Amino acid sequence: MTTTINIWDDHTLSARGWKRDIQQLLDDPDIGVRAFEIGEIDHELHVLHNRREAFLRGATEPDEPSALDDTRVLIVDNDLFHLQDFSDFSAETVATRAGVYTDCGLIVVLNLNPDIDFDLSLRGDPDSKADLHVNDKFIANPGLWRQCPREHGCFRPWHWPLLLREAQLHDRRVDDLHRALLDQDSGKPILDYLQFPDEAKNRLSRVARAFLHPLRNDTENISFSDFVDGNAQAVALKDGEMIIQKEDIRKVARIGARRVYKWFVRHIVGPQDILIDFPHLLQKLPFLIPEHQQALIDHWNSAASLDDAPVALVRDAISIDPLQLPNWTDRPLFWSHDFESPDVFDRVLAGVDLNPEGFVFCEDSSAFHPSDVSHRFVAAHNTASDDRFVRWLLDAENIRFGPQSRLAV
């Protein structure tokens, strides 16, 4: 079965260039990459518009096919000004509507903020209905499509997913949620569906709570249907009202799997205070690496793998296992509160001489580096884990970091 990557830009030559670069990088006959012509983009937007208009009128959506239903990764340039019929559409409009009215997979928007390549706030774009924002210079970066080699010599931000694998996970999230909403009580709270323990529920930030619903303060009771109803973070209000009125479970699943996952990644995993991933855990608890391996950076960088991180180190040292949440995690994650026992604190205090080389995890390379070639910055999550590091601030050409006010002085 062919995996389809479609590229939309109103500058056809740019789209063709990105297509060529991606094809050369992936070099896989089972992956189809297509650059749409302007007229084809306009046609697809007409189909999308007609589906939405019919739905909002309460009518049956037209059965005219859309290429978006078979698209596993959609890459859209932010500026679509030169389209013929939809020149007022931005990539955000496309992402908003395609995420509701089609079975489109991942939606990647290019060049929303072309002046910044790496966002030092680490907040990303949680309000955007797209799944990822990158600048076009990185669309053929190997680290966006596959795990970087162990030498970790490339610019590869840690928050990036591996696009083809993430597209598969996205499809599974939608289908799993759709089945759950059909088979179970659709009123099951989101936090219970995601297996949040009470301790984690109590640690949700005000921003995270508001995302799930701005008019509800009982976050622990909000279901996926509640999330869609009257919440612009999920979907436009009139669309959400009609989805609930028509009890369109498929659309609830599409929206929930995409937008709640964005919430999960940006507001729960990103701050590293409710869930913590393996390299950040290792930074806090260096005793997890056996003492005789502490000076070898390869042992530290094994924790930064998305495929085969040695999580058994945690299990063997303190009998804690990673979160088991199929299709919602693309890397090992642990509940932070599990590491707040007196035993863990005692081991941290006893290990003051560990990490003798001063290795730090760098967010822009997805790897550990010596601290003397890394640069500290302060993320914008307002948590105790906001002290972070980057590697390529001064050494990499044509990679722009900002806002610069977040760099430590």
End-to-end Cα, the chain, rounded Å: 52
Q: Which of 79-88, 330-339, 360-369 has the lowest mean pLDDT?
A: 79-88
Q: Tell whether 149 and 248 lie within a shared domain.
A: no
One-letter amino acid for residue 237 of the chain: L
Q: Looking at residues 173-202, what average pLDDT do you find?
A: 93
Task: Tell me whether residue 164 is in a domain.
Answer: no
Q: Is residue 41 a contact partner of residue 83, using CB atoms and an 8 Å limit?
A: yes
Q: Tell whether 316 and 392 lie within a shared domain.
A: yes
Mean pLDDT of the chain, nearest integer: 93
Number of other CB atoms surrounding residue 295 within 10 Å: 13
Tokens of 402: 């900002």
Q: Tell whether 329 and 255 lie within a shared domain.
A: no
* Residue that finishes a domain, picked among 129, 158, 187: 158
Q: Tell whether 122 and 184 lie within a shared domain.
A: no
> For tokens 């040695």, what's the residue?
310
Q: Tell whether 36 and 106 lie within a shared domain.
A: yes
Q: Looking at residues 132-142, what average pLDDT do you find?
A: 96
Q: Is residue 348 a contact partner of residue 285, using CB atoms and an 8 Å limit?
A: yes
Cα 261 to Cα 287: distance, rounded to the nearest angstrom: 32
Provide the CA 328 distance to its chain's centre, in angstroms.
Answer: 10
pLDDT of residue 208: 97
Cα 83 to Cα 357: distance, rounded to the nearest angstrom: 55
Q: Tell whether 222 and 236 lie within a shared domain.
A: yes
pLDDT of residue 332: 93
Q: Tell whether 204 and 344 lie within a shared domain.
A: no
On the question of pLDDT at 292 being above 60, the answer is yes
Q: Is residue 228 a contact partner of residue 247, using CB atoms and an 8 Å limit?
A: no
On the question of pLDDT at 150 being above 60, the answer is no
DSSP 349-383: HHTTT--TT-EEEETTTTEEEEGGG-EEEE-SS-S
Q: Tell whether 314 and 260 lie within a shared domain.
A: no
CATH of the domain at 48: 3.40.50.2300
Number of other CB atoms surrounding residue 385 within 10 Å: 16
One-letter amino acid for residue 287 of the chain: F
Q: Tell whether 53 and 190 lie within a shared domain.
A: no
Q: Looking at residues 40-49, what average pLDDT do you find?
A: 95
Task: Tell me whether residue 146 is in a domain.
Answer: yes
How much of the chain is in helix, strand and coil states, percent to nearest 5?
45, 15, 45
Task: Tell me whether residue 380 is in a domain.
Answer: yes
Task: Tell me whether residue 400 is in a domain.
Answer: yes
pLDDT of residue 82: 84
* Residue that finishes a domain, picked among 269, 289, 314: 269
Cα 400 to Cα 393: distance, rounded to the nearest angstrom: 8
In total, the chain counts a number of residues equal to: 409
Indicate the pLDDT class of residue 1, thresholds 50, 70 and 90: low
pLDDT of residue 312: 86
On the question of pLDDT at 356 being above 90, the answer is no
* Residue that finishes a domain, picked among 114, 134, 158: 158
Indicate the pLDDT class of residue 103, thresholds 50, 70 and 90: very high
Q: Tell whether 351 and 377 lie within a shared domain.
A: yes
Cα 384 to Cα 271: distance, rounded to the nearest angstrom: 9
Domain range for 240 is 169-269
Task: Tell me whether residue 176 is in a domain.
Answer: yes
Q: Buried b vs exposed e over 218-255: b needs ≥16 C-beta within 10 Å?
A: ebeebbbbbbbbbbebbbeeebbebbbeeebbebbbbb
pLDDT of residue 391: 93
Q: Tell whether 87 and 228 lie within a shared domain.
A: no
Q: Is residue 84 a contact partner of residue 39, using CB atoms and an 8 Å limit?
A: yes
Instruction: Give per-residue pLDDT as tens, 106-126.
Output: 999 999 999 999 999 999 889
Phi, psi at 95, each rounded to 5°: -60, -40
Q: What is the 3-state secondary structure (H, E, C) of 9-48?
A: CCCHHHHHHHHHHHHHHHCCCCEEEEECCHHHHHHHHHHH
Instruction: Give per-residue pLDDT as tens, 318-329.
Output: 889 999 999 999
Q: Tell whether 263 and 279 lie within a shared domain.
A: no
One-letter amino acid for residue 405 of the chain: S
pLDDT of residue 324: 93
Total number of domains in the chain: 3
Cα 337 to Cα 273: distance, rounded to the nearest angstrom: 8
Task: Tell me whether residue 299 is in a domain.
Answer: yes
Instruction: Give per-residue pLDDT as tens, 237-264.
Output: 999 999 999 999 999 999 999 999 999 9
Q: Which of 15-24, 254-263, 400-409 has the lowest mean pLDDT?
A: 400-409
Indicate the pLDDT class of residue 148, thresholds 50, 70 and 90: low
